[in-house]
Amino acid sequence: MTRIESKFAQLRAEGKKAFVSYIMAGDPDIETSLAVMKGLPGAGVDVIELGLPFTDPMADGPTIQLAGQRALEAGMTLQKTLQMVRDFRTGDNETPIVLMGYYNPIYSRGVDTFLAEAKEAGIDGLIIVDLPPEEDEELCLPAQKAGLNFIRLATPTTDDKRLPKVMQNTSGFVYYVSITGITGAAEARAADVAPEVARLKKATDLPIIVGFGVRTPESARDIAAVADGTVVGTAIVARIAEKKPVPEILAFVRSLSDGAHSA
């Protein structure tokens, strides 16, 4: 059982919803990014999504694109991202970490080398947004063989014909993208999300976590109420971009996690 699977089993047993937070590795620099990351579990975060900076982040809105740009300009690399995970793991061996990004840096590193390093560093799962199910042999199946969860995105345009293909090798949880478009583009609405979550639950026993467009404690609560949990990324990354002090960023994260956990 991976840390992700253990965490969701624990939450289910406690009757709680999950709160997942996203930050970009190395934004605005490694020291600040690591300080935020280390504070996330104490701020109520159940699963950390760690963005892997990439030069062409096509699924991301301006806020996260700029975060990746800042990280790259500060010298962030795949190797330094994995070292950041190792540094986090010296004080926390329980919080699940999902690496979220694009295939190119992994392909460049070499899939087998990357998977061995990611597992050793303490990564638990991958969300690779530009690898469709038709490419499962590239990374998804080797990742699962290496003991990492491969988490798939489902969207409002994933119809019933496509859904079984999307679900077939997914593990850990399913990430439902609540809006059509890029991250941070619009606000998620629970009334729209609820029927979609119900539809996904007919296709899988995995937890359904909803992200994109969740920005406030109230929306975190409302979305978590109709799903198994929620993800917040852009709203947190925006505060990092504003150079807010780390304690202030973590206080905001705490308000979001309190919202999600009150659902």
- Which residues are catalytically annotated? 49, 60
Task: Calculate the CA dihedral of residues 57, 62, 66, 72 and round it to 10 degrees.
Answer: 0
Whole-angstrom Cα distance, residue 91 to residue 69?
28
Closest CA to 109 of 69, 78, 148: 78
Report the alpha-carbon distance of residue 33 to residue 250 in Å, rounded: 12
Report the alpha-carbon distance of residue 43 to residue 252 in Å, rounded: 9
Longest Cα–Cα distance in the chain: 47
CA distance 70 to 53: 9
The H-assigned helical ranges of the chain are 3-14, 30-39, 62-73, 78-89, 103-109, 111-121, 140-145, 163-167, 190-201, 217-226, 234-241, 246-261
